[in-house]
Amino acid sequence: MANNREGIGMLSPYRVLDLTDEKGFLCGKLLGDLGADVIRIEKPGGDPARKTGPFYEDDPAPEKSLFWFAFNTSMRGVTLDIEKPEGKKLFKRLVETADVIIESFPPGHMDKLGLGYSDLEQVNPRIVMVSITAFGQTGPYRNYKTCDIVAWAMGGYLYVYGDVDRPPIRISHHSHAYLHTAGEAATGALMALYHREVTGEGQHVDVSVHESSARLDMTHKWDMTRVFLRRGEWLGPVTFRACYIWPCKDGYVMWQFWVGPAAALWTMPFIKWMQEEGVTDDFIKGIKWVEIDTGIEEGARLATEVLSRIEGLVMKFFSKHTKKELDAEAKKRGVMLYPVADVKDVVESGQLASRDFWRKVEHPELGTSIVYPGPFTRCSEADLAPRVFCRAPLIGEHNEEIYIRELGISRETLSELKQAGIV
Partner 1 sequence: MSRRLLEGIRVADFSWAYVGPLTAKALADCGAEVIKIEGRSRPDVERAAVPPFKDNVPGFNRGGHFNSVNTSKRSLCINLARPKGKEVAKRLVAWADIVIENFSGGAMERMGLGYEVLRKIKPDIIMVSSSMQGQTGPDANRAGFGQHLTSLSGIVDLAGWPDRDPVTLGYYTDFIAPHFNLVLILAALLYRRRTGKGLYFDVSQLENGVHFLSPLILDYIVNQRIAGRMGNRVVNAAPHGVFRCRGDDRWCAIGVFTDDEWLGFCRVIGKPDWTRDAKFSTLEARKENESELDRRVEQWTLGHSAEEVMALMQTAGVAAGVAQTGEDLLEHDPQLRERHFYWELDHPEVGIYRAPRPPYLFSICQFDVRRAPLLGEDNEYVLKELLGLSDEEIAQLVIEGVLE
Segment 232 to 271, residues that bind partner 1, using CB under 8 A: 234-236, 238-239, 242-243, 245, 247, 252-254, 256, 262
**Which of these segments, 270-278, 309-317, 370-378, 405-413, binds partner 1 (CB under 8 A)?**
370-378
b/e map 393-418, b = 16+ CB within 10 Å? bebbbbbeebbeeeeebeeeebeebe
Tell whether residue 139 is a contact of partner 1 (CB under 8 A): yes
Answer for which of 1, 2, 13, 411 binds partner 1 (CB under 8 A) is 13
Q: Please, what is the minimum distance in Å from the beta carbon of residue 124 to partner 1? A: 15
Check residue 116 for interaction with partner 1 (CB under 8 A). no
Residues in region 62-81 near partner 1 by CB under 8 A: 66-67, 69-71
The residues pairing with 254 across neighbouring beta strands, listed in sequence order, are 245, 338
Within positions 345 to 364, which residues make up the interface with partner 1, using CB under 8 A? 345-347, 349-352, 354-355, 357
Task: Assess 113 for contact with partner 1 (CB under 8 A).
Answer: no
Residues 16-55, mask of contacts with partner 1 (x by CB under 8 A): --------------xx--x-----------------xxx-
Count of residues of this chain found to bind partner 1 when the rule CB under 8 A is applied: 146
169 binds partner 1 (CB under 8 A): yes
CA end-to-end distance (rounded Å), the chain: 20
SS3 labels along 247-270:
EECCEEEECCCECCCCHHHHCHHH
SS3 of residue 350 by DSSP: helix
Gap between the Cα atoms of 191 and 279, Å rounded: 55
Q: How far is the CB of 196 from partner 1 (least distance, A)?
A: 10
Burial class (CB in 10 A: 0-12, 13-18, 19+), 296: exposed
Check if the beta carbon of residue 246 is closer than 8 Å to that of residue 252: yes
Regarding 138 and contact with partner 1 (CB under 8 A), the answer is yes
Burial of residue 285, with CB atoms counted within 10 A of its CB: 0-12 exposed, 13-18 middle, 19 or more buried? exposed
Bridge partner list, 240: 258
- Is residue 109 a contact residue for partner 1 (CB under 8 A)? no
Complex with partner 1: residue 86 or 121, whichever CB lies closer: 121
